[in-house]
Amino acid sequence: MGKLVLAAKVSHVPSLMLSEAPDSPLKQARAPAVEALCELGRRARTREVTTFVVFDTHWLSNFGYHINANAQHRGSFTSHEAPHMIQDLRYDLPGDTALAEAIAAQAQGTGLKVLAHKVPTLGLEYGTIVPMHYLNPDGWAKVVSIAQPLFTTLDESRALGEAVRRAIDQSDERVAILASGSLSHRLWPNKDLGPDAWTSIASEFNRQVDLRVLQLWQERRYAEFIAMLPDYAVKCNGEGGMGDTIMLFAALGWDAYHGAAEQLCDYFPSSGSGQVNVEFHVS
């Protein structure tokens, strides 16, 4: 039987990659977040993770849920939205076709429109590539990437997260789930872009709500968080409708989850959005 051995909410912002340049002014600012992602990678290795399942809010779909079921993910990624931030980022990662197809089957059984794709030219998006750059740099574990539909509901995302957990439990894999996306996601308007945009929040309201969410997680008040989640996603400009977070909590057991939330770095803004790396411990 398979087992969920690690679950986390992680950042995938391009400023993580920008910080790697030797002379980058962001090097110090992003160091704690980079170290947090690397620490999650070390924990995954220690727990003998065989597959990462990534809920990728940067792989947005207009038509249903999609899963990258390729047996191998190989390519060179340049961001179409920010080619000056992420360019020629190479990746070579094994996939997990069996688990991807099992997730799709479980979800389809609930009536969800989900497709698992084995298409060699279907590459990964940076919501998957950036976390894998730090957690799985040499491809020691397999990767399944799941898209987030733009036109969906909380109930559908919850059903997909629950289907992921059932597929994991019925597999032979030791799995890490990553909810890859921001907390609040209001970005700076174009006219306000500048050096300070990388390290400042675009909405004080959003920052205050983000900090309250982190407090609720620390205090394990997950039922209250889930109750506020629909409003949080709308009023704080949730990336991909916060579908990654919805699916993560669904896979953890929704409001029945009572594990510890371990914040691995300080909350930080990037391009106006709110970011953090948090492990949700599973028994």
For tokens 């996601």, what's the residue?
185
State residue 193's pLDDT score: 83
Do 158 and 125 contact (CB within 8 A), yes or no? no
State residue 23's pLDDT score: 86
Helix, strand, coil % in the chain, rounded to nearest 5: 40, 25, 35
pTM of the model: 0.97
Q: Per-residue confidence of the chain (283 residues) as pLDDT tens digits?
A: 899 999 999 999 999 988 888 888 888 989 999 999 999 999 999 999 999 999 999 999 999 999 999 999 999 999 998 898 899 999 999 999 999 999 999 999 999 999 999 999 999 999 999 999 999 999 999 999 999 999 999 999 999 999 999 999 999 999 999 999 999 999 999 888 888 888 999 999 999 999 999 999 999 999 999 999 999 999 999 999 999 999 999 999 999 999 999 999 999 999 999 999 999 999 8
Tell me the domain boundaries of the chain.
3-280
Do 118 and 71 contact (CB within 8 A), yes or no? yes
Angle at 248 between CA 250 and CA 122, to 5 degrees: 115
Identify the helix (H) or strand (E) that includes residue 49. none
For tokens 């995954």, what's the residue?
44
Q: Which amino acid is at 10?
A: V
Distance CA 50, CA 105 (A): 20
- Of 36, 102, 107, 95, nearest to 69 by C-alpha is 95
Do 70 and 164 contact (CB within 8 A), yes or no? no
Do 117 and 67 contact (CB within 8 A), yes or no? yes
State residue 30's pLDDT score: 93
Category of 139 on φ-ψ map: left (φ > 0), alpha (ψ -120 to 50) or beta: left
| HEC secondary structure over 149-188 | ECCCCHHHHHHHHHHHHHHHHCCCCEEEEEEECCCCCCCC
- Of 251, 249, 250, 243, nearest to 3 by C-alpha is 251
**CATH number of the domain at 3-280, out of 3.40.830.10, 1.10.8.420, 3.20.10.10, 1.10.1790.20?**
3.40.830.10
- A 10 A CB-CB count for 221 gives 13
State residue 53's pLDDT score: 99
